[in-house]
Amino acid sequence: MTSGGRRLTRRQAARLALAAQGLGRRRPVNADRAALRRTVRRIGLFQVDSVNVFARAHEMPMFSRCGPYDPALLTGAVEGRSPLLHETWAHVASLVDIELEPALRYRRRDAAREAWRSMVDLLDENPRLVDEVIGRLADGPATARQISGGERGTSPEEWGWNWSASKTALEWAWRCGRVAVAGRTASFEKIYALPDQVLPARIRALPEPGAEQGQRELAVRAATALGVFTPADLADYFRTRRRPTDAALSTLASEGLVEPVTVDGERGWWMCSGASVPRRIEGCTVVSPFDPVVFRRERALRLHALDYRIEIYVPRARRRFGYYCLPFLLGQDFVARVDLRADRAAGVLEVASAWREPGAEESPDLPGRRTVATALAGHLEEVAEWRGLDRIRVLGAGDLAPDLARAMG
């Protein structure tokens, strides 16, 4: 199935992948709702993560592609009357293009295949608990804490079930599509609601595709967002199961939508048919560890030579680059990493550490240390402005920190 086809170098494939993600393009004049809509349609999903030491993960893809924007724009695109995104289970918990909601319904019907053990145990022990917690949402959206605390009728403890069980029941109902997420509180708790309280009538009225068609629609969107990919990359984008994803890939190939390619002579790669490889990528941005361009670590290594591991779960003494180190894209290459912290009370963006990308000094393709430090310094001014911070403080850790401090003046 993958014989023949075009031949790409790794650097050509990397440019194609970055262009497909909307990185390296000229930024829009206005980072407004129209720009957000284009970004959503292009990449399909923003992975959700709770860590807020600098910025939450789902807030960053729009910034990385469009520059500083009002975070209220994203909130409105999820919670407003005409949502562009809805929170659902796709590439784990993600804000997903609202137009893809029908294509994901087959996965909700089949949710038991992906259920956590705690969900399975709960359903075995008390299947009626799910109906009980859903019933508490009839009067409007609520958090698990509000339901568990008895703000919506009697508390689960009085039914014989604790807060944890009721939260698990709500999460299962969400995974099944019987419950939706209307938004998040300031402390990042999910606000659960009935689907007709969240999803627009236009979306709910769309016909439900069968599993095969739903899988195909997800594969098309993933292929378009990836640009160039392996079958494993395609399956990982929306975390679809491998066998039906492979079947969908065969369908796309038979329809002429994708074609096989080699990357540095390696078979097993695919690209969108007719896609042109950009001659240059003019990127200059930090990206979230959960950005679609890097969230599959093996792909980031193979295409972008980025050997990345998030270290928030690594004990402090064993961290190499920092708690929440963000890759820095310059041109078409990831050339540095910065561990950023927002000291909101003091109005300071702290650069806890700044590192040159390992091996960069030996690579003829990557810019020199001074060029990287100067570009990063300019970008961090933009980052601070976006987060509403007045000053930047380079704390000194990392081999790029002295150059960055000098570039910051």
- Sort strands 258-263 and 266-272 into parallel, antiparallel or unpaired: antiparallel
The C-alpha atoms of residue 396 and residue 373 are separated, in whole angstroms, by 13
pLDDT number for residue 160: 46
Burial of 71 (0-12, 13-18, 19+ CB in 10 A): middle
CB distance 339 to 325 below 8 Å = yes
H-helix or E-strand spanning residue 165: helix 163-176
pLDDT number for residue 4: 57
Residue-averaged pLDDT of the chain: 92
> Model confidence over 8-43: pLDDT tens digits?
999 999 999 999 999 977 899 999 999 999 999 999
> Model confidence over 109-165: pLDDT tens digits?
887 677 667 777 777 777 788 888 899 899 899 999 888 775 555 655 554 445 578
- For residue 173, what are its two tokens? 């109902």
Residue 329 — φ and ψ, nearest 5°?
A: -95, 125
The C-alpha atoms of residue 336 and residue 281 are separated, in whole angstroms, by 17
Kindly state the average pLDDT of the residues 43-66: 96
| pLDDT higher than 90, residue 364 | no
Name the percent of the chain lying above pLDDT 70.
95
CB distance 392 to 380 below 8 Å = yes
- For residue 232, what are its two tokens? 């494993």
The C-alpha atoms of residue 30 and residue 19 are separated, in whole angstroms, by 20
Burial of 234 (0-12, 13-18, 19+ CB in 10 A): buried
Kindly state the average pLDDT of the residues 47-59: 95
Kindly state the average pLDDT of the residues 310-314: 92
The C-alpha atoms of residue 127 and residue 59 are separated, in whole angstroms, by 36
Residues whose CB falls within 8 Å of the CB of residue 401, separated by 6 or more in sequence, listed in order? 351, 353, 354, 394, 395
pLDDT number for residue 363: 78
- Tell which wins on pLDDT, 260 or 139: 260
How would you label 300-309 residue by residue, b for 16+ Cβ within 10 Å and e otherwise?
bebbbbbebe
Q: Is 367 left (phi over 0), alpha (psi -120 to 50) or beta?
A: beta
What is the 3-state composition of the chain as percent helix, strand, coil, each rounded to the nearest 5? 45, 20, 35
| pLDDT higher than 60, residue 352 | yes
